[in-house]
Amino acid sequence: MSIWVAGARPRTLPAAVVPVLVGTAAAAQGDLGPGRGIVAWRFVTAMVVAVAIQVGTNYANDYADGVRGTDSPDRVGPVRLVGSGLAAPAAVKRAAVLAFAVAAVAGLALAIAVTPWLIVVGAVSFAAGWLYTGGPRPYGYAGLGELFVFVFFGVVATVGSAFVQSESLSWLAFGASVPVGLLATALLVVNNLRDIPTDAAAGKRTLAVRLGEPATRVLYAVLMFLPFATVPFVAGLGGRLLGAAALLAVLLVPKPVLAVLEGARGSALIPVLGATGRIQLVFGVLLAAGLWLSA
């Protein structure tokens, strides 16, 4: 069980949890009484969908990279089940399908309660998760992974979580999705920075491979600080000024950013990956709490 938990890559789960927290908080309405218009079961179900898609994507990535031979034995980083020989490719593929199936069942419940259009959003999200490294032309191998992470783990997940509560679109949800997406993208950037040597050797042309180490390090720093520049604008939408509490998370940023800018590579980037996930989680919790309390 511990091997399968490790294969699910827990350090990446803040990318799934944060948009649901922030999107739900953005949908809160202060004039609707103590409950603030939030339907608890929809929140829980949206969280199940987000986490299951993230886990499914991670297993699908593990499977696809493993069968392609991208994950060599000398790869540094979180455990890869197929590449390290800890699990058969077919078993990892089944795990990915099972995770997506859990997301599909939970998503169907939301679609029945809210709108059938959520089925389309879910199907596109599943495809994006599978085709990141799967299929005949994986977009992750073409340097488009960061763009898709920003769109799906930022905009789609945050706005979608707000929509299942309010059943409407709001500028607040769109605005809040920007810093959420930037931090999720930073998580992928530092992961791909660590993998530049092995990815380049395997022909996996990620954005990090295309940009090279120096530019990727700068990109990571920008993605870590830029979200905080957006907070005043997000908190100002609808007068939810307590959302500015998310600025406190900037105190955690210098350490991992300095490690990257000073040339950390290989195993030295594993703690940076963990720190990035924690910063994303702290930022998301503070932003969500601030938006909720000032609703």
Lowest mean pLDDT among 58-72, 83-97, 170-184, 248-262: 58-72
pLDDT reading at 33 higher than 70: no
What is the residue whose two structure tokens read 């919790």? Answer: 285
Q: What is the pLDDT of residues 88-124, one digit of tens each?
A: 999 999 999 999 999 999 999 999 999 999 999 999 9
Per-residue confidence (pLDDT) for residue 74, from 0 to 100: 62
Could you count the other beta carbons within 10 Å of the beta carbon of residue 129?
26
Residues above pLDDT 90, as percent of the chain: 67
Nearest to 290 by CA among 249, 259, 258, 229: 249
Q: What is the pLDDT of residues 205-258, one digit of tens each?
A: 899 999 999 999 999 999 999 999 999 999 987 789 999 999 999 999 999 999
- Residues ≥6 apart with Cβ < 8 Å to 48: 102, 103, 106
What is the residue whose two structure tokens read 């940076």? Answer: 272
Reported residue count of the chain is 295
Mean pLDDT value across residues 76-80: 70
Output the CA–CA distances (angstroms, integers) from residue 204 to 111, 201, 214, in the order listed: 36, 8, 18
CB 190 within 8 A of CB 269: yes
Quick one: tokens of 140?
């992750």
CB 81 within 8 A of CB 71: no
pLDDT reading at 135 higher than 80: no
CB 220 within 8 A of CB 189: yes
Quick one: tokens of 26?
């953005």
- Separation of alpha carbons 193 and 262, rounded Å: 13
- Separation of alpha carbons 90 and 278, rounded Å: 32
Nearest to 176 by CA among 47, 52, 42, 283: 283
- Separation of alpha carbons 52 and 44, rounded Å: 12
Per-residue confidence (pLDDT) for residue 72, from 0 to 100: 62
Output the CA–CA distances (angstroms, integers) from residue 181 to 50, 113, 152, 158, in the order listed: 14, 27, 8, 9
Q: What is the pLDDT of residues 144-158, one digit of tens each?
A: 999 999 999 999 999
∠ Cα 243 107 166 (to 5°)? 40
